[in-house]
Structure 1
């Protein structure tokens, strides 16, 4: 099988617990970032590396949205407002200059539980939509039948095994011709310093916050939203963004 020209990075925001979830953030978001490998190697990775050296003096830092937002170590230098402003400007530049397409699933937990019960795993529902929409984008780009890795961050041996089973179950039952021959599962250690996974991490929560509080100022959403896959009439909902229910 020929290898594809693209790679997909996936990360989540929130957990998929439907029983005891945070009432301040009753959302689960699964975000998929699609990027052409050539562009990723030539532009995205060098940009992320330069950013790390610029602000931290080394490239061992892993960009995590939560730690950046809370200014927790190693991002405690962002306590300085001038440094924080410059850092966030560079993050904006990373997204604005990178050709990344985003697909995301948002699960509204209370409504999901009421409609579907607490036994159905919202992760699998979010995953199925995401994989289908990713495949449609690859199909448009002539990638059907060309192996394209979908990269997830590991969460533990049991969770990773369950995730792979869910992934393969979706591919085994899909009605989309060529999807099973195109998408390939890859789960990597949480400590892996992957620029793609870090970008997916930066994407997921702002999407959830926008759905939760759409009238609230959300600069990260404003930067991310143009990257979300669109359908006819420039529509995002139902194309690059699935909100359930």
Structure 2
């Protein structure tokens, strides 16, 4: 008889993480002076049976194979595989279909945006990635409590960035989960690092949602269709019965 994930001690959720912007504090891009960390939290069943096959089918339909990796920057700048569209109309059709997949995909967002141009004391705030990571892990734990999954292990998947950065991140992740958090007790999370060429559907979706979140925080009044789609996905104050409301400083944390 096949054992379920819970019987093995794993939660029903899996988390994919990506960032937008540079986490350095010295050189600040005037056009995009933010660092964004985004956690896309999927129910494993939905991820396996809906999200992954839909993205695979999209790639097969438009590129003829499924090795294409959906990077927001390359799509926006029309680089790599995204130079192959026959015309503007075909690219718009692709973007519409990709947007529909994101809109239909059931995942929960936990994110943190740091406006670097407003940080008064760079030394005091420290590593921006680590600061954002702490906020997102705490939000993830809030969700696990809501779902009664806090006693089970949840894997958090991040993309490799380099040996030094990976070692520092893993050390910080463990430090936070070992008790350096607002709860001051252990968090049931385990980090796994994936190579950039892993072609993970979850990591690609995390990459696609991070920049629209940053753009929203930079200009709250600007029309942002991509962010509007994400509104109903943020973890919010009223739980999943109040999606789309009360997510500011809950699923969407931003400072200073």
Same fold (TM over 0.5): yes
Paired residue for 1:142, among 112, 126, 148?
Answer: 148
SS at match of 1:11: strand
Partner of 2:207: 201
Q: Which moved more, 1:89-98 or 1:229-238?
A: 229-238
SS at match of 1:60: coil
SS at match of 1:49: helix
In structure 2, C-alpha distance between the alignment counterparts of 1:214 and 1:52, rounded to whole Å: 33
Alignment partner of 1:121 is 2:121: no
Mapping of residues 1-245 of structure 1, within 5 Å: 2-78=9-85, 80-112=87-119, 114-117=120-123, 120-172=126-178, 173-176=180-183, 179-180=186-187, 182-232=188-238, 234-245=245-256
Structure 1, unpaired ranges of 5+: none
Q: Which moved more, 1:77-86 or 1:48-57?
A: 77-86
SS at match of 2:198: coil
TM-align CA RMSD = 1.6
Partner of 2:5: none
Structure 2, unpaired ranges of 5+: 1-7
Report the number of matched residues. 243
Q: Displacement of 1:214 after TM fit?
A: 2.1
TM-score normalised per structure 1: 0.94
Kindly indicate whether the alpha-carbon contact (under 8 Å) linking 2:110 and 2:140 is maintained by their aligned counterparts in 1.
Answer: yes
1:70 to 1:176, Cα distance in 2 relative to 1, 3 A: same
TM-score normalised per structure 2: 0.90
Q: Displacement of 1:141 after TM fit?
A: 0.8
SS at match of 1:117: helix
Q: Displacement of 1:116 after TM fit?
A: 4.9
In structure 2, C-alpha distance between the alignment counterparts of 1:78 and 1:218, rounded to whole Å: 24
